[in-house]
Structure 1
Amino acid sequence: MGDVANGRLLTIDNYYEIFNGLLNPKQIEGLRLLLTPFPQQQFNQTEDRRSVRPSMGVSCFDCHSNGHTNASTHLVGDIRPQELRHRIETPTLRGLNVQRLFGSQRALKTVEDFTEFEQRAAYFDGDPVIATKKGVNILERGSQVHFMAEFQALMDFPPAPKLNVYGKLDPRRATEQELRGEAVFNGKGQCVACHAAPYYTDNLMHDLKTERFYKVQMVNGMKAVGDGKIKTFPLRGIRESPPYLHDGRLITLEDTVEFFNLVLETKLTDTEKADLVAFLRVL
């Protein structure tokens, strides 16, 4: 996206000027819909809103800026009771075409399914009555949803010049530390068990059983419970999309490596952890 936008933030005001002649009419319309604000639980034109003035709503690209992410988190909309609702991170849309599961913990099978789910449920905390009151926008599956998906399928991962055609390090371009990190990734670190090249995902869901490490308890009105099954996100371009894990609890790649070192009990040394981070930064 960046090579076309040339550093500009895509908006409803400039998208046509930038992409006219580069996209087909369906893709242009899909991009328009991704940039068009629609009513949502907190931002709408009723008295029940978060903004001072009535709002047209939010667009997909308000959070997925330029098809990437603004690194924000939000309260998951469709879980009850309230104490079990947790925050989820806004993932990047880069490389969406290689993914087969959508939603960090919902296992929706297509991006079209996810688009409809967001509009009908997640945008309004899973309440169809409130959605009707606040102006839910029901997208037409056969055209509008399809157009949005067709555009999103164009968004690729960022360049990774040190990787070869198989998605693995090219020894002629990689540093010794990066090569050691790749060895840790594929060996002692056990990362490859879920994150296989070339896109570093298995497109499955896994339960890390994090409840092993704490007691179920209430913390600031929320119940601390296990995460359950979590989608394996692709690691390509991971350096550009902090924070990490499905809820953004891990701020840096170093934090992420340490988290999995504890959860998977891999007992990596400080040197191995540093090498692994160096490898992740070139994906």
Structure 2
Amino acid sequence: MKVGEVICQVSLHTAASTSERIAFHTINRATGHRVERQFVDGETGEPVERDEQVKGYETGPGDYIVLEPEEVAAAVPHSDKTLSVEAFVACREIDDVYFDKPYYLAPADRGAADAFRLIRDGMRAKKVAALAQTVLFRRVRTLLIRPYGEGMMATTLNFDYEIRSAAEAFADIADIAIKDEMLELAEHIIRTKKGKFDPSTFDDRYEAALADLVKAKLEGRKIEVRKEPVREKTVDLMAALRESAGMKTAAARKTTSPGKAKARSPRRKAG
């Protein structure tokens, strides 16, 4: 990591991983053997060996410019493994839509610890993040680096051309004036559901269901088909808000109401 003339040897660690997810293989139902993936010619149907597979850019229907492996390798930037800081910015300046993948950034060895702490603590004191560039997986990537606990967090950023227009996504949202009563009811519902972010409370129900399915198959148990919850269609938004607010208020009273206080036993006087 290079900041001006300050150089700090750092190591990049993946902060998020999918290795714990259940993985499946494709097998032949008839034989139980694993199926192998094979590339075939789209016209002849004949298998194409790896040495004969090249990249191509389509210029027209059925017309391609062939790019040889050495040509692609020559065009791709070489990684010099330098994380060059281009600028320091306020964290709020970066729109969350640009965030891609998080990495942990730590000193590569004890000799780099002092320079690492100097950069980290300086950024924390000024409440800024660093914009840096490096080559990751043969692509030049921009990273947003922020102090994070005892280390730092480096988040790869999407390029501007990769971000879809929000205006297009929201184009069909009608501009309707919300009545004060409706807004007050909505605010009331939000207040009753106020909480704190705790990632440990969020369950990956899909992974849990797959794990239960695999376990049931291994144990030879009958697979129970889960019934879909009945969902009632709400036509009147105002009625839905009132009903939801009423339910939340009743639930709040039930959990916070102390009920009838129990009579305390009189204290005995010391004899």
- With the shorter chain as reference, the TM-score category is under 0.3
Q: Which has the higher helix share?
A: 1
Larger radius of gyration: 2
